[in-house]
Amino acid sequence: MKQCSVCRVQVKGKWETCPLCRAALNRQEKEGSRDPYPEVPLRFNKQRVTRWLMLISLLILAVYFVVDFFFLAQAGIWRLVLFGIMSMWLVMLVILRKKRNIAKGIVYLLVSLSLLMLYLDHSQGQMDWSVSYAIPIICSASLAAMFIALKVVRLSVGDYVLYLLLATLMGFVPAIFLGIGWAENALPSLISISMSCAMLVYVLLRHGREIQNQLIKRLDV
Amino acid sequence: MRRSLREGEKMPEKNRWVRLDNASNIFLAARNDTDTKVFRLSARVAGPVKPAVLQKALDKTFEQYVLYHSVLRRGIFWYYLEQSELKPKVQLETAPPCAQIYHYDRRELLFRVLYHADRIHLEVFHALSDGTGAMGFFQDLLTEYLSLRYPEVYGNVDSLDSERLQKQMEDSFAHYFRKTRQLNFAEAAQSSLQTVTKVGKKAAHWFKSTYSPVPVGRKKNVYRVRGEKTPDNRMHAIELEMPVKEVLALSRKEKVSLTIYLTALFVEATQQTAPPSATPRTITVSVPVNLRQFFPSRTSRNFFSTTHLAYTYGEKKDTLSHVCQTFQDQLQRQISPDSLETRLNRLISYELNPLARIVIRPLKDVLLKVINYFNNRNTSLAMSNLGRVELPQPVDGYVEQVYFQTAAVRPQFCMISHGEHLTVTFTSPFVETAIQQRFVRMLTERGVSVTVAANKVTEEELEGKR
């Protein structure tokens, strides 16, 4: 073992200097003692990562402001581009965060994308295409996607059944749009509603018991 | 898919999950990238660890501890523990100590068993168990491993003796688990609060109360240690080994316990290395107390309470003896039956408050985070003592030393002793080592022989420039 004459301690492991005071160590024996802590390479260097992220963010902001200032007429396009990038980050975030439960991931995507569409449509003036087409199509597509995904991915019933139910119920939202009279074209909404009706019957008949169990568990006060 | 799951189910659904008690929720709310709320028990055994044997020992031990089969899930109002079919695998240590165990949205066991050279580590997520609770598992694991690794020791004992040995062994490490042999998951995973007597139940409220901001030093200038965080949020561990006799002699000279003596030394070291302050400065230490010593509980779940010791420098003559005496008095007051009872009664209504129960979990998390934030502001340091560990003979002879450490948001030390040895492991989120250095020198100046080991945390250290 090596020794630090300043701290008056023995030091284990492969150290050239004292881990406490940084003074050079005296070598007492030829072979050093085994290091009880394996050398683990840094996973990342926080300072460095933060520096890069800051730099890139600042650069993007600078470019945006310059473009916005000189090409004012095209600011709308740039807003769309930014919107696109934001959606990309959102989708990526959802996929990464929810990668372990595909049913949950689909529900999160369904909600976040629907809200994004609503926002975009609203920011362009009137709410028409999002409620008539985008949201009903996202709803029915999600339901179909979930149905197929659950056949392919191995997931326990308890883990997905509530999300399947949630996606099914979400499919009835276009009915509200229809009722209020927001939707211009009723067909996409009708498809979504009928798919949800069929799925609701299927889910309740097949997994009714499990849904009850899960609700008791998750709603325990 | 559905069929196979049904086949795998051994128990009705209602026995396979249990709500996480209030007390454990704080660990989930307070968990972050630095403070992972993971603690580690380690043992240095004779000879390099054989992974295959360790795996066998783990399989056997795991079978008996149903609580350790849990995974953590999220409900609307609470977190809950759910029994899983996952099986633990021993792993070579490749991550920094006390690395994250619970990942949001990942279905994983709440503990891990690691090995490196001649060391075996058990790392546990604090929401599952406390140090004393986990020690039961660790002792069983070690006993199992060593008796598999050195069968000749058992072979030498004749059959009658070996039977006696087995029985004796069971008794000595059965403190919290094997006496009850909990085979039912719900029973095993139940909150400690429910398994104990009425008094124990009250104690649980007391436990909860300790997470409220500390009255001590609220208006005072509580010192907070600051420093440069490690580059990848890893814990900076500095491990000290020393003969328990030498330190015990020092503490006896001050007429205080080992815990109080080392805590006082830690506070002194912090004061001596802190930048000078014009106003009186208070240094506070959070010290957990194992409630099993007060209440008849054999739970493996969390069952401890935290006391807060505080010393204000610059008011009187500040000597180590004075700090020791102050802490001794404060601790005695805080764990006296009277003070306990008063706190319990005051808090009983709080626990059953229906309003608190219907607050949704994410909101509970936020509230607990806020409480934790204010709590942190009132705490300078932390320590934890697991006491003395003994394994049944002859297995005990194959364990050289035992270590204990925990992830920490502030400089902390954990102590544990085995045989003639005392180990003190500092953990800190900071690169700096001034406090630890001062602490060690105060010990060596008083004639204690100390051996130091540390993990490498900066690029310079890892590249061998230091």
- Co-location of A125 and A16 in the same domain: no
Contact A11 B451 (CB under 8 A): yes
The reply to whether A64 falls in a domain is no
Angstroms from B171 CA to nearest CA on chain A: 32
The reply to whether A172 falls in a domain is yes
Q: How far apart are CA A173 and CA B445, in angstroms?
A: 75
Interface of B with A in 166-205 (CB under 8 A): none
A173-180 and A135-152 helices cross at what angle (nearest 10)? Answer: 170
- Co-location of A31 and A104 in the same domain: no
Contact B75 A35 (CB under 8 A): no
Is the Cβ–Cβ distance between B385 and B293 less than 8 Å?
A: no
Contact A36 B119 (CB under 8 A): yes
Q: How far apart are CA B110 and CA B92, in angstroms?
A: 17
Please tell me whether residue B269 adopts helix, strand or coil conformation.
helix
B238 shares contact with chain A (CB less than 8 Å): yes
Q: How far apart are CA B26 and CA B36, in angstroms?
A: 12
The reply to whether A67 falls in a domain is no
CB-CB: which of A37, A40, A48 is closest to B453? A37
- Co-location of B345 and B451 in the same domain: yes
B-chain residues near A164 (CB < 8 A): none
Is the Cβ–Cβ distance between B436 and A20 less than 8 Å?
A: yes
Contact A100 B105 (CB under 8 A): yes
In the prediction, which pLDDT does B13 show?
59
B-chain residues near A13 (CB < 8 A): 453-454
The reply to whether B267 falls in a domain is yes
pLDDT of B128-170, one tens digit each? 988 998 999 999 999 999 989 988 876 543 333 333 334 333 3
Angstroms from A196 CA to nearest CA on chain B: 22
A-chain residues near B361 (CB < 8 A): none
Look at strands A9-11 and B450-454 and give their pairing.
parallel
CB-CB: which of A4, A17, A220 is closest to B19? A220
- Co-location of A34 and A102 in the same domain: no
The reply to whether B141 falls in a domain is yes
Is the Cβ–Cβ distance between A91 and A114 less than 8 Å?
A: no
Q: The domain that contains B424 carries what CATH number?
A: 3.30.559.30
pLDDT of A135-172, one tens digit each? 999 999 999 999 999 888 888 888 899 999 999 999 99
In the prediction, which pLDDT does B186 show?
57
Please tell me whether residue A96 adopts helix, strand or coil conformation.
helix
Structure token pair of residue B413: 């030390």
- Co-location of A104 and A212 in the same domain: yes
Contact B462 A42 (CB under 8 A): yes
**DSSP letters of B278-322?**
SS-EEEEEEEEEEGGGTS----SS--EEEEEEEEEETSS---HHH
**Does residue A102 have a pLDDT over 50?**
yes
In the prediction, which pLDDT does B433 show?
96
In the prediction, which pLDDT does B86 show?
94
- Co-location of A34 and A113 in the same domain: no
A96 shares contact with chain B (CB less than 8 Å): no
The reply to whether B392 falls in a domain is no
CA of A110: how far to CAs of A105, A149, A150, B163, B296, in Å? Answer: 9, 15, 16, 63, 52
> What sections of A7-156 are H helices per DSSP?
46-70, 75-97, 102-123, 129, 135-152
A-chain residues near B459 (CB < 8 A): 42, 45
Please count the residues of chain A: 221
Contact A17 B466 (CB under 8 A): yes
Angstroms from A112 CA to nearest CA on chain B: 18
- Co-location of B189 and B201 in the same domain: no
- Co-location of B425 and B299 in the same domain: yes
**Does residue A78 have a pLDDT over 60?**
yes
Q: The domain that contains B71 carries what CATH number?
A: 3.30.559.10
Burial B41-75 (b: 16+ CB within 10 A, else e): bbbbbeeebeeebbbbbbeebbeebbbbbbbbbbb
- Co-location of B110 and B15 in the same domain: yes
Q: How far apart are CA A109 and CA A112, in angstroms?
A: 5
- Co-location of B150 and B250 in the same domain: no
Q: How far apart are CA B67 and CA B293, in angstroms?
A: 22
Q: What is the mean pLDDT of residues A10-37?
A: 84
Instruction: Give the range among A28-37, A173-182, B280-289, B437-446 with minimum mean pLDDT.
Output: A28-37
Q: What is the mean pLDDT of residues A82-87?
A: 74
Contact A12 B5 (CB under 8 A): no
Backbone φ and ψ of A132, nearest 5°:
-80, -40
Q: How far apart are CA A72 and CA B269, in angstroms?
A: 62
Contact B80 A220 (CB under 8 A): yes
CB-CB: which of B97, B231, B238 is closest to A45? B231
Please tell me whether residue A17 adopts helix, strand or coil conformation.
strand
- Where does a domain end: B194, B209, B227? B194
- Co-location of B220 and B172 in the same domain: no
- Co-location of A34 and A132 in the same domain: no
In the prediction, which pLDDT does B72 show?
92
In the prediction, which pLDDT does B391 show?
85
**DSSP letters of B106-168?**
----SEEEEEETTEEEEEEETTT--HHHHHHHHHHHHHHHHHHH-HHHHHTS-HHHHHHHHHH
Please tell me whether residue B364 adopts helix, strand or coil conformation.
helix
In the prediction, which pLDDT does A103 show?
92
Backbone φ and ψ of A5, nearest 5°:
-80, -20
Please tell me whether residue A119 adopts helix, strand or coil conformation.
helix
> What residues make up the domain containing A12?
1-41
A152 shares contact with chain B (CB less than 8 Å): no
Confidence band for A69, pLDDT divided at 50, 70 and 90 = low
- Co-location of B354 and B449 in the same domain: yes
Confidence band for A30, pLDDT divided at 50, 70 and 90 = low
Q: Which chain A residue shows the shortest CA-CA distance from B456? A: A39
Structure token pair of residue B419: 């045989």
In the prediction, which pLDDT does A184 show?
84
The reply to whether B135 falls in a domain is yes
Sheet holding B399-406, edge to edge: B91-92, B111-116, B119-125, B38-45, B399-406
User: Which amino acid is present at B61?
Assistant: T
The reply to whether B250 falls in a domain is yes
In the prediction, which pLDDT does B221 show?
86
Contact A40 B440 (CB under 8 A): no
- Co-location of B8 and B29 in the same domain: yes
Please tell me whether residue B40 adopts helix, strand or coil conformation.
strand
- Could you tell me which of B32, B405, B374, B33 has the C-alpha nearest to residue B224? B374
- Where does a domain end: B194, B218, B238? B194
CA of B174: how far to CAs of A82, B135, B178, B261, B300, in Å? Answer: 63, 11, 5, 31, 11
In the prediction, which pLDDT does B292 show?
77
Please tell me whether residue B32 adopts helix, strand or coil conformation.
coil
- Could you tell me which of A206, A107, A116 has the C-alpha nearest to residue B1? A206
In the prediction, which pLDDT does B207 show?
44
Mean pLDDT per 10-residue section of chain B, whose length is 466 residues: 38 68 80 93 95 96 90 88 93 95 88 96 94 92 92 53 34 32 52 42 44 48 92 94 96 95 97 90 92 73 83 90 95 80 56 73 87 90 95 87 96 96 97 96 96 94 77
A9 shares contact with chain B (CB less than 8 Å): yes
- Co-location of A103 and A208 in the same domain: yes
Q: Which chain B residue shows the shortest CA-CA distance from A7? A: B441
User: Which amino acid is present at B398?
Assistant: Y
In the prediction, which pLDDT does A218 show?
84
Burial A206-221 (b: 16+ CB within 10 A, else e): ebeebbebbeebbeee
In the prediction, which pLDDT does B18 show?
80
Number of domains in chain B: 2
CB-CB: which of A12, A101, A156 is closest to B453? A12
Q: What is the pTM of this model?
A: 0.77
Look at strands B412-418 and A2-4 and give their pairing.
unpaired
- Co-location of B144 and B205 in the same domain: no
Is the Cβ–Cβ distance between B285 and B383 less than 8 Å?
A: yes
- Could you tell me which of B299, B301, B321 has the C-alpha nearest to residue B311? B321
* CB-facing half-sphere around the CA of B206: CA atoms within 13 A: 29
The reply to whether B301 falls in a domain is yes
> What is the distance in angstroms between the CA of the first residue and the CA of the last residue of chain A?
57
Cα A180 to chain centroid distance, Å, stands at: 32
Q: How far apart are CA B192 and CA B175, in angstroms?
A: 15
- Co-location of B204 and B337 in the same domain: yes
The reply to whether B374 falls in a domain is yes
- Co-location of B256 and B188 in the same domain: no
Is the Cβ–Cβ distance between B30 and B37 less than 8 Å?
A: yes
Interface of A with B in 23-82 (CB under 8 A): 34-48
In the prediction, which pLDDT does A51 show?
73
Angstroms from B333 CA to nearest CA on chain A: 36
Q: How far apart are CA A214 and CA A203, in angstroms?
A: 14
The reply to whether B397 falls in a domain is no
Number of domains in chain A: 2
B78 shares contact with chain A (CB less than 8 Å): yes
In the prediction, which pLDDT does B208 show?
44
Sheet holding B79-83, edge to edge: B17-19, B79-83, B70-74
B-chain residues near A100 (CB < 8 A): 105-107
CB-CB: which of A14, A38, A216 is closest to B94? A38
Backbone φ and ψ of B241, nearest 5°:
-120, 135
Q: Which chain B residue shows the shortest CA-CA distance from A14? A: B464
Q: How far apart are CA B438 and CA B440, in angstroms?
A: 5
- Co-location of B221 and B150 in the same domain: no
**Does residue A105 have a pLDDT over 80?**
yes
A16 shares contact with chain B (CB less than 8 Å): yes
- Where does a domain end: B165, B194, B223? B194
**DSSP letters of B105-117?**
T----SEEEEEET
- Co-location of A104 and A13 in the same domain: no
> What residues make up the domain containing B102?
2-194
- Co-location of A128 and A209 in the same domain: yes
